[in-house]
Chains A and B, each alone.
Chain A
């Protein structure tokens, strides 16, 4: 059973689309993350030096952006965390720099990013924006999510969330891509699967240690 889970995990990890998860986790924590759609994918490896800063390595691919692909390194930071008894709110920011290549050119790229979220045990909402600054261009994508847990599971049980995601990237399409999805969370492994209203499949996998 463990080998089957590992196989599925690894195969999902090879493709990805919209990365939404904590950009910084706990001190000494590692994150491996990938999101996949047929025309886009995003991958990330991150290490949190403490609960406020993380070093990250990223890779993005957008087929409809002239087959754009980039590889970058950067820093994410937790700007502010608000804690109440049953919920938390967070503000994150980051900047990554690296190299890009598309059908027309190649060179350096800078990716600034910002994220705000609020979550409790039953609901969560997140907004994220990421920029791609390259070749005299500045393009941004935006993601908005709302999710809820139909039931609370124990720590050693499989946790389930239903999520609705709205994604907008002007360079890809002038429409908002809406994707309902289901998320499973078991111990330190998270995976999401969905199907957008435009008929595109979506998969995400995240593992943290």
Chain B
């Protein structure tokens, strides 16, 4: 009888230990997932990722300092991978210092700024334009 009780107590203890270990593991896993989610959200907001679809949409970028034909060439070349036709979908206005781009794919605002940098300039502001109906 004493032996049976002892066995019972042992098995109960083992079960309790396993349960607590399992709970501990689950808690750790949950914490890791929550932490990853928070970090992802933070990094997305830090890089200014625009969560909306951009395919078919047009952005107007202010780019100070553009003064010559080569500036135009640089913008068209660097945006060529995200537009259907760089001649018609990348419009540079040297008087207003703006670049108007109509995308044929989804892009982030960070990518837009990067492409302006690749052309040798800095994007001051980005304004999404309403699509013409």
Contact = CB atoms under 8 A, between A and B. Distances in A.
Interface in B23-52: none
Interface string B59-96: 00000110111101111011000000000000010110
A26 B69 contact: no
Given A29-B74, A85-B97, A187 B67 contact: no
The interface centre, meaning the residue of A50, A85, A87, A152 with most chain B CB atoms within 10 A of its CB, is A85
A50 B70 CA distance: 14
Binding site secondary structure of chain A:
loop
Interface of A: 22, 25-29, 50-51, 78, 81, 83-88, 119-121, 152, 155, 159, 185, 187-188, 208-209
A83 B72 contact: no
Contact of B118 (A51, A88, A208): A51
Contact of A25 (B67, B120, B122): B120
Contacts of B73: 25-26, 29, 187-188, 208
22 contacts: A25-B73, A26-B77, A26-B78, A27-B118, A28-B77, A29-B74, A50-B118, A51-B118, A81-B65, A84-B65, A85-B97, A86-B64, A86-B65, A86-B67, A88-B67, A119-B68, A120-B67, A155-B72, A155-B94, A185-B69, A187-B73, A208-B73
A155 B67 CA distance: 11
**Nearest 9 CB-CB pairs, A to B?**
A26-B74, A83-B65, A27-B118, A51-B120, A88-B65, A26-B119, A85-B64, A121-B67, A83-B64
Interface of B: 64-65, 67-70, 72-75, 77-78, 92, 94-95, 97, 117-122
A186 to B, nearest CB: 8
B67 A119 contact: yes
A155 B69 contact: yes
A208 B65 contact: no
A119 B69 CA distance: 12
Given A51-B120, A188-B73, A28 B67 contact: no
A188 B69 contact: yes
Nearest to A190: B69
A121 B65 contact: no
A191 B123 CA distance: 31
Nearest to B92: A155
A188 B69 CA distance: 7
Contact of A84 (B64, B68, B77): B64
Contacts of B119: 26-27, 51
A121 B95 CA distance: 9
B120 A28 contact: no
A87 to B, nearest CB: 6
Contacts of A152: 95
A31 to B, nearest CB: 9
